[in-house]
Structure 1
Amino acid sequence: MSINLTSDQERLVETKLQFGEYRSTEEVLEIASQLLDEDDRLEAEWVEDVRAKIDAAIEASTHTPSVNGETFVNGILERFRQAN
């Protein structure tokens, strides 16, 4: 596989190597790859968490009486006023 880096990416890798933070370009790219995988995993976990919360809210809403929008917003505003 051949990888082409932008000049900014090359400078970043070179800077990391110059400061002795990493031993090789391969090590820098391995760390970057691990971080990308971790970011993808965390994002997937976040999406699943949000979906579970939405599902729970939908389920709870089936057991809660309806409130019109104005009443709902006024209730939130009142809680903010009381908190201050």
Structure 2
Amino acid sequence: MNISLTTELEQFIQGQVASGKYTSNEEVILAGIRLLEERERIYKGRFEELQREIAIGVEQLDRGERLDGREVIEQLRQKNQALRRTQGQ
């Protein structure tokens, strides 16, 4: 596989090797790919978690378990104001 890099990326990679953090250009590139792989795994896990939370919410709505949006906003405002008062002291 051949990869073309911008001058800036080449300089970044060379700088990482020159700093002693990595022993070769390949090691820098592999570290970057591993980070991307880990980020994708985290995003996938969070997406699946959100899907489960949405499904729970839909089930609750189907059972008639609802909160009045205006009441929730008002409660949040009151909590926020109380928090600001305690932090201001």
TM-score category of the 2 structures, normalised to the smaller one: 0.7 to 0.9
Unaligned runs of 5+ in 1: none
CA contact (8 A) 2:60 2:66 kept: no
SS of alignment partner, residue 59 of structure 1 = helix
- Equivalent positions of 1:1-84 (< 5 A) are 1-64=1-64, 72-83=68-79, 84=81
Unaligned runs of 5+ in 2: 82-89
TM-score by length of 2: 0.80
User: Counterpart of 2:73 in structure 1: which amino acid?
Assistant: L
RMSD: 1.6
- Structure 1 segments, 4+ long, off by >4 Å, are none
Number of residue equivalences: 80
SS of alignment partner, residue 30 of structure 2 = helix
Change (3 A) 1:63 1:10: same
TM-score by length of 1: 0.84
Overall identity of the aligned pairs, in %:
26
